[in-house]
Amino acid sequence: MTAGERPLSGRHALVTGGGRGIGAAIARALLEQGAAVSLLGRDRSTLEAAAREMSALGEVACFTADVADPDAVSAAFTDAAARGAIDILVNNAGQAHSAPFLKTDAKLWRDMLSVNLEGTFHCTQAALPGMLDKGWGRIVNVASTAGLTGYAYVSAYCAAKHGVIGLTRALALELAAKGVTVNAVCPGYTDTDMVRETVANIVQKTARSAEQARAELAAGNPQKRLVAPEEVANAVVWLCLPQSAAMNGQAIAVAGGEVM
């Protein structure tokens, strides 16, 4: 496939949390489809390392911001738009922390909502005007199966991700006749640094081994495995293609059949 044949050639995609895990996999997949990609995250060194690794695939640049900080988001998106208006926004940045509900203090609650939900809000508000000006855009929110069902001991995270799904559906209807689609991809437990941190937390708090903890997380997937980041990226990129214009307001589980 030549550059001219790639379906996202000429499009500019911004991926939050693009320096590692699912975000980095999404960025690579978008580059392979011809998009110019901007990576946004808090850790400049992580972003730059990812950009160097991806540079052979296409045009990639880095921008630093905490998605929970609206002023930092606005400044970073303005800088990124100097590369061209943002056509594709992937809201991937997120955090997950567990605690029993009665041990979920106000700070933990705010942290989960500020990054997972408010960050999606801030970044979407920053990118949307350019999409509306063009009459074309793709917004894909990386939510979670936690946005579709309940999980014990992660009430704040579940609440935030349910909020992301609600925002996705409401905005999809608002923009349906304006050339911009809004969808969510909902991974189950995925083989990333975040899940490795979850495994370490289980090991620390229980008598389980790392292998037992990973097996416990994988057990909820009918395929009895963790999802690969590339599988999530494949779903995200499909939603961004010109041919996917009829996909709007959807929350697609990438979880081996865990949620139907």
* CA dist., res. 204 & res. 34, Å (int): 43
User: Which tens digit of pLDDT belongs to each residue from 47-97?
Assistant: 999 999 999 999 999 999 999 999 999 999 999 999 999 999 999 999 999
Q: Is 189 a catalytic residue?
A: no
Mark whether 219 and 127 lie in a shared domain.
no
Does residue 4 lie within any of the structural domains?
Answer: no
Mark whether 63 and 89 lie in a shared domain.
yes
CATH number at residue 107: 3.40.50.720
* CA dist., res. 87 & res. 173, Å (int): 19
Does residue 3 lie within any of the structural domains?
Answer: no
Tokens found for residue 220: 């909820």
Considering the candidates 151, 153, 157, 189, report the single residue annotated as catalytic: 157
Does residue 259 lie within any of the structural domains?
Answer: no
Mark whether 105 and 203 lie in a shared domain.
no
What residues make up the domain containing 214? 189-226
Residue 116 contacts residue 108 (beta carbons within 8 Å): no
Mark whether 210 and 120 lie in a shared domain.
no
Mark whether 74 and 50 lie in a shared domain.
yes
Q: Residue 49 has what pLDDT?
A: 97
Does residue 61 lie within any of the structural domains?
Answer: yes
Mark whether 56 and 67 lie in a shared domain.
yes
Domain count, the chain: 2
DSSP per residue over 83-110, as a string?
A: TS---EEEE-------B-GGG--HHHHH
Backbone angles phi, psi at 141, to 5 degrees: -100, 120
Does residue 260 lie within any of the structural domains?
Answer: no
Please count the other Cβ atoms lying within 10 Å of the Cβ belonging to residue 53.
13
Q: Residue 168 has what pLDDT?
A: 98
Q: Residue 1 has what pLDDT?
A: 45
Q: Residue 211 has what pLDDT?
A: 84
Does residue 255 lie within any of the structural domains?
Answer: no
Which regions in the chain score pLDDT beneath 70? 1-4
DSSP per residue over 186-246, as a string?
A: EE-SBSSHHHHHHHHHHHHHSS--HHHHHHHHHTTSTTSSPBPHHHHHHHHHHHHSGGGTT
Place of tokens 């995925």: 190
Does residue 14 lie within any of the structural domains?
Answer: yes
Mark whether 172 and 219 lie in a shared domain.
no
Mark whether 40 and 133 lie in a shared domain.
yes
Mark whether 242 and 134 lie in a shared domain.
yes
Does residue 98 lie within any of the structural domains?
Answer: yes
In this prediction the pTM is 0.93
Mark whether 100 and 33 lie in a shared domain.
yes
Mark whether 165 and 48 lie in a shared domain.
yes
Q: Residue 92 has what pLDDT?
A: 98
* CA dist., res. 7 & res. 17, Å (int): 24
* CA dist., res. 187 & res. 21, Å (int): 12
Mark whether 89 and 218 lie in a shared domain.
no
